[in-house]
Amino acid sequence: MAITDSVPTAVVSGGSLSGLMAAITLKDLGYRVTVFERSTTVESQGAGIVLGKWSSGFFNKFDKTETEISVPISRRQFFNLDGSTITEEEIKLGVTSWDKLYYTLRANYDGYIQQGYLNKEQNAAQKDDKTDYFMSTVVVSHAYNPDKGKVTVTYRKKEGNESQTEVDLFVCAEGASSSSRELYFPDLTRKYAGYLAFRGLVPEKELKPETAKKLINSISFLHAEDSQFLCYPIPGPGGSLVPGERHMNFVWYNTYPEGPILDKVLTDKQGKRRPFSVTTGSMPTSVVEEEIHAKTRAKLSPECLELVMKTKHPFVQVVTDVISPAGVFHDGHVILVGDAFSGARPHTAASTNKAADHALRLHEVLKADPRNLLRLKEAWEPRSMEYSNHLFHIGKRIGDLSQFDVHPMRADKEIPDRTLEDWMKVGEPK
């Protein structure tokens, strides 16, 4: 049903990157937009993000802050266990961090300025009555009324009663574990892929000079049995892109069959077994030592080992598969975006790129008539489904090759005969 109100309205459930991209797009199309985010605080986990074609395109189109958001990468390299290079190639790539993108998107959505990331003089959006962003707010349910062509969204703020709002468009951007998606596909769940990722950050200034020189302008890989390690630089505190102030970000995939050891890795300091991740600062010291530090010597080169050992607060995320059979419902009045639509494995480095693609296609399809939501089923869903399916299957192939097969770039050399202590002490930065 086409929207008849003078000002179309939308609720976006999920205030992370995919939700903000959709919200900015709808705001530009003339919608009155409200974002509900269930988290009580902004927690980036320090995750690194590779900027793809659509991510760059989104910021080129909508970013009014005129700020640089990425660290340039000029080389891709693969290491042996002794730190020698198997192969390398020149590339042109931009990498950034979750928090850098989040605060840039917030500035463009509702004019929110986070100290250190942006300043008030930058040309961000001005706060107006077209946008709202509420944290600590959970969408409990949504229901479509075909007679009115409206979606009733029931939500609850922290320690508050349930409230309702009626909108033209409900956008589900709740991530791979989306609860709103369950209304349409109650049996669709995230399936564990058989391995997980240990992740962490190290300030660039804390790296040994020779390590920084070798890694800082590159995206580096090391493949070993049941293991894949990659690292690259990202913005530092406050989103700083200044050399010496940035972070080195690493992702280390390790195979873990379901069972008691996996349960141990996913149990936090409070003794609670988490389903998909244990956040920064929540991993017990014993788990860090037994499941991360103890494995470094057999599977990592000296440079990669240094990153892991110097990470003060690693975190862990399991790798899962989930993809929705559809992304548009009720004649276009409800849509899924980002990982709620398709949670591809992280090897594609395209989660944010996919969210940007969804947002850009949303703008393209609705720009001629923002009220004609039927166009979403006709023109937006097929392209979004095609791209989501592509990423889903590519990610699965890459991950299975790395973890369960012999990767063509697998390291095959022995590491030098020196102790961990020797390596960590020599050449320490002053």
Q: What is the pLDDT of residues 214-232, one digit of tens each?
A: 999 999 999 998 999 999 9
Backbone dihedral angles phi then psi of residue 108, each to the nearest 5 degrees:
-80, -25
Antiparallel, parallel or unpaired: β 334-336 and 277-278: unpaired
Mean pLDDT for 276-294 is: 95
Contacts of 208-215 spanning 24+ positions with Cβ under 8 A = 208/306, 208/426, 208/427, 208/428, 208/429, 209/427, 209/429, 210/427, 211/302, 211/303, 211/306, 211/307, 212/248, 214/83, 214/303, 215/248, 215/303
User: Are 222 and 259 contained in the same domain?
Assistant: yes
140-155 b/e (C-beta count within 10 Å ≥ 16 → b): eebebeeeebbbebeb
DSSP string of 78-94, one letter each residue: EE-TTS-EEEEEEEEEE
CATH number at 171 reads: 3.50.50.60
- Asked if the model's pLDDT at residue 415 lies above 80, the reply is no
Q: How far apart are CA 155 and CA 141, in angstroms?
A: 7
User: Are 230 and 307 contained in the same domain?
Assistant: yes
- What percent of the chain stands above pLDDT 90? 83
- Write down the pLDDT at residue 6: 81
User: Are 134 and 44 contained in the same domain?
Assistant: yes
User: Are 43 and 124 contained in the same domain?
Assistant: yes
Residue 3: pLDDT band by 50, 70, 90 thresholds?
low
User: Are 416 and 365 contained in the same domain?
Assistant: no
Assigned domain for 90 exists: no
- Write down the pLDDT at residue 408: 83
Number of residues that make up the chain: 430
- Asked if the model's pLDDT at residue 379 lies above 60, the reply is yes
Assigned domain for 430 exists: no
User: Are 123 and 61 contained in the same domain?
Assistant: yes
Amino acid identity for residue 106 in this structure? R
Mean pLDDT for 40-60 is: 86
CATH number at 213 reads: 3.30.9.60
**Strand, helix or coil for residue 323:** strand
Assigned domain for 4 exists: no
Q: Are 231 and 215 in contact (CB under 8 A)?
A: yes
User: Are 136 and 160 contained in the same domain?
Assistant: yes
Sign of the dihedral through C-alpha 103, 95, 253, 269: negative
- Reported pTM: 0.92
- Write down the pLDDT at residue 428: 36
- Write down the pLDDT at residue 295: 87
Residue matched to tokens 């007679």: 147
Q: What is the helix (H) or strand (E) element at residue 423, kind and residue range?
A: helix 420-425
Q: Residue 21: which domain range?
A: 9-69+96-189+321-398
Q: What is the helix (H) or strand (E) element at residue 373, kind and residue range?
A: none
Assigned domain for 313 exists: yes
Alpha carbon 223 to chain centroid, angstroms: 22
- Write down the pLDDT at residue 419: 43
CB atoms within 10 A of CB 189: 13
User: Are 107 and 47 contained in the same domain?
Assistant: yes
- The closest of 423, 430, 413, 417 to 307, measured between CA atoms, is 423
- Asked if the model's pLDDT at residue 426 lies above 50, the reply is no
Q: Are 303 and 214 in contact (CB under 8 A)?
A: yes
| Number of domains forming the structure of the chain | 2
- Write down the pLDDT at residue 117: 87
Q: How far apart are CA 44 and CA 32, in angstroms?
A: 27
User: Are 127 and 233 contained in the same domain?
Assistant: no
**Over the stretch 88-137, which tens digit does the pLDDT of each residue have?**
999 999 999 999 999 999 999 999 988 888 876 666 676 777 899 999 99
Q: Are 136 and 99 in contact (CB under 8 A)?
A: no
User: Are 363 and 409 contained in the same domain?
Assistant: no
User: Are 411 and 360 contained in the same domain?
Assistant: no
**139 beta partners:** 155
- Asked if the model's pLDDT at residue 76 lies above 80, the reply is yes
**Strand, helix or coil for residue 115:** strand
- Asked if the model's pLDDT at residue 273 lies above 60, the reply is yes
- Write down the pLDDT at residue 128: 72
Cα radius of gyration (the chain): 22
- Write down the pLDDT at residue 120: 66
Mean pLDDT for 267-281 is: 96
- Asked if the model's pLDDT at residue 337 lies above 50, the reply is yes
Q: How far apart are CA 192 and CA 399, in angstroms?
A: 12
**Over the stretch 132-166, which tens digit does the pLDDT of each residue have?**
999 999 999 999 999 999 999 999 998 788 999 99
Residue 237 half-sphere exposure toward CB, CA atoms < 13 A:
6
Mean pLDDT for 412-419 is: 48
The pair of structure tokens assigned to 430 is 């002053």
Lowest mean pLDDT among 194-198, 251-255, 417-421: 417-421
- Write down the pLDDT at residue 406: 84
- Write down the pLDDT at residue 430: 32
**Strand, helix or coil for residue 231:** strand
Q: How far apart are CA 20 and CA 105, in angstroms?
A: 6
